[in-house]
Structure 1
Amino acid sequence: MWKFLTDTIWAKLIEGILGLSLESRVGEVAWYFLHAASTILILLGLGIFIISILRTFISTEKIKKFIESHKGIKSNVMASVLGVITPFCSCSSVPIFIGFIEAGIPTGVVFSFLITSPIVNEAAFLILMTIFGWKVATIYAISGIVIGVLGGMLIGKLKMEKYIEGYIYKMHLEGKKEKIYRGRERLTYAWKETKDVVIKLIPYMIVGIGIGAFIHGWVPTDLLSKYGGKDNFFAVPIATLVAIPLYTDAAGIIPVAEALITKGVGIGTTMAFMMAAVALSLPEMLLLKKVIKLPLIATFVGIVGTGIIAVGYLFNYIA
């Protein structure tokens, strides 16, 4: 129903007001941009609003106790699952990472959260499910959680606490009281959180949707299918490396992913590109440099990058 409404509205706008034919490249690009922007904006806003309300029922102390109540791999799983329903980009995950270290949560468990949080979130899952279907969205989410669990466990086994800046351990949360929300305060908070996050993400969404629209309308299908198709063995690692300099969130990169897949790029190659763009971005590495030392950053990038490449090959194999 929504697709029918947007198709009709944007078609009338482009043909009736702008005077462009939907059969032309410019008209096709304009339609793709408007359709993707409206769909993603509504789904993103709805997802953030609902989850923000749910977050008002959960405090950092409750999260800490919840994670600590599980031992071994269960604690890593819980941290990764919590990462799915927390911040919406890699850079916003770093302050939470610091808070968990302060709270005394084991390093490996905290990294399970840090890895999963940017890769998978509820809004991205909703958008993925709408565009690609529930199977792709579910496999993507499970893959992100698995990377987080295994990556966190490996970092924990390597005993790399010495590479966390010492001042982090000296910081204390005592005396800081978290806001308790009641009644209408929850709605007010959720509305403010939705506005703040959407406004923050709009520039990245515009860039992502713009790139997707350009690929959709102008990049030759044969070119991308030749070099990015699932039969090209090197496509997955190359896509992973190319994505690292980018800074976006999962919702902003999805339009690019959709355009790549429609042009013949392997779904695994596209998923690897998505995951690397949101989990291994240079801005996140610069933020992490303030709290952890280079050997741990290199280990983090190596583990997550390897996991992403493995997931890319898996997607290409089963798709």
Structure 2
Amino acid sequence: MRDLATEFEAERGRLLAVAHRMLGSRSEAEDAVQETWLRYAGALADPAARAEIRELSAWLTTTCARICLDVLRSARVRREAYPGQWLPEPVVSPLGTSNDAYAPDPAERAVRTDQVGTALLVVLERLAPEQRVAFVLHDVFAVPFARVAEVLGTTDVAARQLASRARRAVSAPDLPRHTADPAEQRRVVAAFVAATESGELDQLLQVLAPEVVFVGDSGGHFPAARRPVLGAQAVGRFALGLFGRAGRYTSRVLARPVLVDGVLGLQMETVYSDGRPLRLVTAFAVDQGRITAIFNQLNPEKLTTLPPLDDDDHWPPSW
């Protein structure tokens, strides 16, 4: 069992990355990987059975993907009953570091910039479970279509069609795009914070794309828009009302720039008007020097693993 555990731990980070891309939920991804371990240990405790597996990584990926596919199919029902807008659980890590549990393998490092971040996870929610699995396995993690077909229980041709449909949906022209490198992200988000601090709508509109969208997920715990806020004027006013008050809350606001699903975002803490602690994580999509989407996660059930903020993490945040 010690050898089995060592082999599995070498694959855990990649399996977590695969499961998180498929499920959009950190806790569900961890559960899927744990179930993969249980199946691995059960099936391969017999040395003879272990010897029959030529590619352990491929076997684990196939098993984990099948588990994720079952979760996605059941999640459809749960998401339909979700109060308000739904956003994925953010994976938050400090700037300049990688989250070891979700560190990308070489295949994921080669993915285009617009295939990481909250924006991608939100778009993936529009896909049918089979399309999402096909796209993530092949387009994001370079799994051959023969293996994808095995996961889905279909043919190579059908798997290719599912990935193609998903690819068209993900690249639709009306969806938020995120193509900015880290330096551009930092410049644009810093300009966004400065504009909200100024309280000047015209200044804020300079960093918002005309078709920008604002999505907030509170899970019913705090007031939040039940539908996306659309367009620069509407999003600008909404952002000024939310972030412009950050420095003027009765309770102190703590804030820190962080990586959210691999791209620049903000982590904040304060106290709500009724005395409850309020934590939120804001992710941005940036394209051609402007913000195309703002994703505001304030559902406390999805923020249980956030790293703590310090007294030095004041608003406006230091860059």
Give the TM-score normalised by structure 1.
0.29
**Richer in helix (by share):** 1
**Richer in strand (by share):** 2
Give the TM-score normalised by structure 2.
0.29
